[in-house]
């Protein structure tokens, strides 16, 4: 059983909440979200927000807060093989109320099918928009196509 140890990123100005499923091996090693260099999350968001792509954890944190974006994951703990969402079992969900009670979240977005599956399973009273995964495993989506799909977060 692995436990999520990366704290959520948000402040009282956060307007959107972006949720992943559970941190990858590389993200767990980096102790921050979307730590795998092949994951396109940071490149997509920087294009969507027309902002410089952050490189360090400090830059990523400042980038999210500057763009009023909160980030966390749906799952608090689970069994998982490597980073494969398809192997997730024995899920305990995160309490999203921690963010929702302390930030001005207008809309929730989920990064990929697995995050959406677990979000809808454990948050029946909340709505979210499912976006295509920024994971390198989602080879069907080019960077340009991801950016176009993710532009919906700017409408909040």
Which residue is associated with the tokens 């997509």?
A: 44
**Alpha-carbon gap, residue 96 to 105, rounded angstroms:** 11
| pLDDT tens digits, 20-50 | 999 999 999 999 999 999 999 999 999 999 9
Bridge-partner residues for 108, per DSSP?
17
107 bridge partner residues: 16
Q: Which of 39, 67, 111, 123 is catalytic?
A: 39
148: tokens are 């176009």
pLDDT tens, residue by residue, 94-148 = 999 999 999 999 999 999 999 999 999 999 999 999 999 999 889 999 999 999 9
> Of all residues in the chain, what percent carry a pLDDT higher than 70?
100
Domain 2-151 CATH superfamily: Uracil-DNA glycosylase-like domain (3.40.470.10)
Q: Judge whether 39 counts as a catalytic residue.
A: yes
Round to whole Å and give the CA distance between 119 and 96: 10
- pLDDT by residue (tens digit) across 66-107? 999 999 999 999 999 999 999 999 999 999 999 999 999 999
This model's pTM is above 0.85:
yes
Round to whole Å and give the CA distance between 46 and 145: 14
Q: Where are the domains of the chain?
A: 2-151
Measure the CA dihedral 95/36/2/32, to 10°: -50
DSSP line for 38-63 = T--HHHHHHHHTT-PPP-SHHHHHHH
């Amino acid at each position: 059983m692995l436990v999520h140890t990366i704290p959520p990123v948000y402040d009282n100005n956060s307007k959107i909440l972006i949720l992943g499923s559970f941190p990858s091996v590389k993200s767990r090693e980096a102790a921050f979200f979307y730590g795998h260099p092949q994951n396109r999350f940071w490149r997509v968001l920087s294009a969507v927000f027309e902002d410089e792509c952050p490189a360090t954890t400090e830059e990523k944190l400042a980038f999210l807060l500057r763009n009023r974006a909160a980030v966390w994951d749906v799952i608090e703990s689970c069994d998982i093989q490597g980073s494969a969402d398809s192997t997730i079992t024995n899920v305990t969900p995160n309490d999203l109320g921690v963010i929702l009670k302390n930030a001005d979240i207008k809309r929730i977005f989920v990064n990929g099918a697995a995050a959406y599956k677990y979000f809808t399973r454990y948050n029946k009273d909340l709505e979210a928009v499912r976006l295509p995964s920024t994971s390198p495993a989602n080879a069907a989506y080019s960077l340009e196509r991801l950016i176009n799909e993710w532009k919906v977060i700017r409408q909040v």
